[in-house]
Amino acid sequence: MDLSQISQMVAALLFIIVLANYLLKKLNKLNQGNSKAIKIIERVPVSKNSSLCIVQVGNQYFLMSFTDQSSEVIKEFSQQEKEDLQQRIHQQNVTTKEKTDVIKLTNGFKNALNKLKSKYNDSFKDD
């Protein structure tokens, strides 16, 4: 296996990972529905049949427990906790955008490298 085949496999793997991530985000948005009043901000599985969720209902935030048999409000967040949570969510969105920008930059470098490789290979074909 030469370097070009390995780089093609790595590029294909990265493409599949990015595509799967994109499709999972789209599916998640479809599953959440179009509700403007109720949003699940974050869900963390605790076991096979239960999870903890931060749920936004209007302007209020709740920590809730979900199991197959029941749903229970564990805590209502205070104003300060709500502001901290909103700030953390905003920071996560900024971090995600920065990662996306790095991926775009990396793809730009890969395209430039592939162009240089093809020009280099073409220069030997003329001889």
**What is the Cα 90 distance to its own chain's centre?**
14
What pLDDT, in 10s, does the model give residues 37-93?
888 888 899 999 999 999 988 888 999 999 999 999 999 988 888 888 888 877 877
Mean pLDDT of 96-120: 74
- The whole-number pLDDT of residue 66 equals 92
pLDDT of residue 89: 78
Q: Tell me 11's DSSP state.
A: H
What mean pLDDT do residues 96-121 have? 74
pLDDT-based confidence at residue 35 (cuts at 50, 70, 90): low
Q: Is 46 exposed, middle or buried (0-12, 13-18, 19+ CB in 10 A)?
A: exposed
What pLDDT is stored for residue 127 in this prediction? Answer: 53
Tell me: the pLDDT tens digits for 11-26?
A: 999 999 999 998 988 8
pLDDT at 121 over 90: no
Scanning the structure block, which residue is given the tokens 């030469």?
2
| C-alpha–C-alpha distance, residues 19 and 24, integer Å | 9
Using the Cα atoms of residue 31, residue 36, residue 37 and residue 43 in order, give the sign of their dihedral: positive
**Residue 41 burial (CB count, 10 A):** 14
Do residues 66 and 78 lie in contact, with contact meaning Cβ atoms separated by under 8 Å?
A: no
What residue spans define the domains of the chain? 1-34, 35-77, 79-127
> According to the model, what pLDDT value does residue 119 have?
75
Q: What pLDDT sits at residue 64?
A: 94
Predicted pLDDT at 102? 67
CA distance 118 to 122: 6
Name which of 1, 2, 11, 18 is nearest 114 in CA terms: 11
| b/e per residue 16-30 (b: at least 16 CB within 10 A) | eeeeeeeeeeeeeee
Give the mean model confidence (pLDDT) for residues 114-123: 76
